[in-house]
Amino acid sequence: MAPALCANCNTERALIKRPKNHAKLCKACFIKVFEEEVHHTIISSRLFHRGEKVAIGASGGKDSTVLASVLKILNERYDYGLELVLLSIDEGIKGYRDDSLETVKRNAVQYDMPLKVVGYDELYGWTMDQVVATIGKKGNCTYCGVFRRQALDRGSKMLGIKHVVTGHNADDIAETVLMNLLRGDLARLSRSTSIVTGDSRSEVKRSKPLKYSYEKEIVLYAHHKKLDYFSTECIYSPEAFRGSARSLIKQLERVRATAILDIVRSGEDMARLVPRDTSSSCSCKEQKNAAPIALAEDDVGGCGSQNGRTPGNEMAAMDKQLRDNEVHEKFEIDVAKVISEGKKTGPEKQQWGLPTRNGNSATGAVGGQVLGNCERCGYMSSQATCQACTLLDGLNKNRAQIQI
Amino acid sequence: MGSESAATIPITVDFSGGLEMLFDNQRRYLISLPVTDESGKAANIAFLIEHLCKHYMKDPRADLFVLDGHIRPGILVLINDADWELEGEEAYEIKSKDNILFVSTLHGG
């Protein structure tokens, strides 16, 4: 095969085939285009304002490393006037976070940004190692996810910063869209697609400047720019991507690469169709406030700093749930048939009205919820006690038992 | 052809993005790849992948690298720094001193 030339400059050899439009680009043009597209996202969504202090949620992984690198470049190139700070969360997992924190420390030097590390132990009195020692490996991702969510907010509050950016990419968003769609959770679907979460009511605003960037391009950007990042699997949730929505997304990409952005855009379009009182919460309330504690299946789980990376096997769990639904449906049809004998349209209607398991609670809850503060820690919460405090309660009871 | 010791091509294979964990935590391998596969066809990427699984994989979790006989979706393959999609993917015939990089996008940070 004769080497293809870059479609942009027509001089250099093409090294990248872009998943979003199949354009063949050389290294330099790809890097430029990648950065310019993030710039476009930032400008068109008016993410920042001059003089703003922004914390970059940094895990040492590819996404946050690329985010830090690109933001530094754009901040200088386009004179955003931002004050950028790296904010890292130490979950307290020996042998996992220790190494990645070393990467973040190197990044801080490389990008000349101050670094703040906030530990679960100082925030909650528990490291993840201790949590796992108490509750076992099952379900620990839930704790980690809930704790991390607050940790970023609390960490930025400590720094006096009101805006945290995270490295969530298009693949992450597409995965969340799919999961929420399959769950029928419209409220969360709507929130998960918005580029900014948190409004004047919440103290810390969150945004995702890499929302439209393919994970593939993020990895290629890191590779071609020789960025220093750390990749590993969480020792408590190895191979979280096996049998997950993640692997479905990757298979779709293999068949048709544009599928990922298509799903993100479809998610946004569907979010617009969500009834007003539900969708209005999309840009103003964080996931954690919207629904009563949704445990393992909530999209707070996962490894690294990416909450889009859900714990494995949820597809299997979903499959089971759908099968259960079918079983229930069968029962219902039988009943319906008896009732609506002679009326042909009856059973069908009954069928459709039925299996909205999570949907009910989610949409119902959003409408009737009032955002308040956790009576324990003061963190914003729609419940009397926030998720983290509720989980901590359980943990502390266990610790008391163990000590006795 | 015909000679006892099959001819080989020297190449470099790199693993990153977490894949090195499946290959004894070693990021770079200098490999002498047989010039042809068992059926006498010139060695291509598909053959290399098979070869790596057979001789270099140090982990029972082969499905984290190969799924249904093909490279697992989400793993990028770069041939001399170029996306393998530009080079013919599995059918690319390997040349002496080629550098093949496998990088996973699947692992978190």
Winning range, highest mean pLDDT, from A158-167, A283-292, A345-354: A158-167
Residue A49 domain flag: yes
pLDDT of residue A356: 39
Q: Which of A293, A290, A298 is nearest to A366 (CA)?
A: A290
pLDDT of residue A28: 97
The tens digit of pLDDT for each residue in A355-374 reads 433 433 334 334 445 667 88
pLDDT per residue of chain B (109 residues) written in tens, 0 to 9 = 444 457 999 999 999 998 998 999 999 999 999 999 989 999 999 999 999 999 999 888 888 899 889 999 999 999 999 999 999 999 999 999 999 999 999 876 5
Subunit contact A231:B73, Cβ cutoff 8 A: no
Q: Which of A178, A180, A185, A175 is nearest to A357 (CA)?
A: A185
Two tokens, residue B70: 């093909």
Which residue has better confidence, A248 or A382? A248
Alpha carbon separation from A248 to A10, A172, A384 (Å, rounded): 36, 12, 38
Residue A385 domain flag: no
Selecting from B21, B74, B109 the residue whose C-beta is nearest the C-beta of A100 gives B109
Identify whether the C-beta of residue A46 lies closer than 8 Å to the C-beta of residue A283: no
Residue A60 domain flag: yes
Write out the residue range of the structural domain in which residue A61 sits: 45-316
Q: Which of A155, A71, A59 is nearest to A113 (CA)?
A: A71
Residue A23 to residue A13: CA distance in whole angstroms: 13
Subunit contact B106:A14, Cβ cutoff 8 A: no
Q: Please, what are the domains in chain B?
A: 8-104 (3.10.20.30)
Q: Is A21 on the interface with B (CB under 8 A)?
A: no
**Confidence tier at A25 by pLDDT (50, 70, 90):** very high
Q: What distance in Å separates residue B86's CA from the closest CA in chain A?
A: 7
Residue A70 domain flag: yes
The tens digit of pLDDT for each residue in A53-85 reads 999 999 999 999 999 999 999 999 999 999 999
The tens digit of pLDDT for each residue in A87-146 reads 999 999 888 888 889 999 999 999 999 999 999 999 999 999 999 998 887 778 888 888
Which 3 state secondary structure label does DSSP give B58? coil
Residue A58 assigned ligand-binding role: yes
User: Which CATH number do you get for residue A258?
Assistant: 3.40.50.620
Alpha carbon separation from A392 to A91, A125, A147, A311, A360 (Å, rounded): 15, 9, 10, 21, 28
Residue A373 domain flag: no
Residue A380 domain flag: no
Residue B29 to residue A214: CA distance in whole angstroms: 29
Domain count, chain A: 1
Which 3 state secondary structure label does DSSP give B78? strand
Partners of B88 on chain A (C-beta within 8 Å) are 1
Residue A343 domain flag: no
Indicate if the pLDDT at residue A16 is higher than 70: yes
**Confidence tier at A8 by pLDDT (50, 70, 90):** very high
Residue A341 domain flag: no
Residue A107 to residue A383: CA distance in whole angstroms: 38
Residue A302 assigned ligand-binding role: no
Alpha carbon separation from B7 to A8, A142, B1, B40, B98 (Å, rounded): 41, 54, 8, 12, 16
Subunit contact B86:A4, Cβ cutoff 8 A: yes
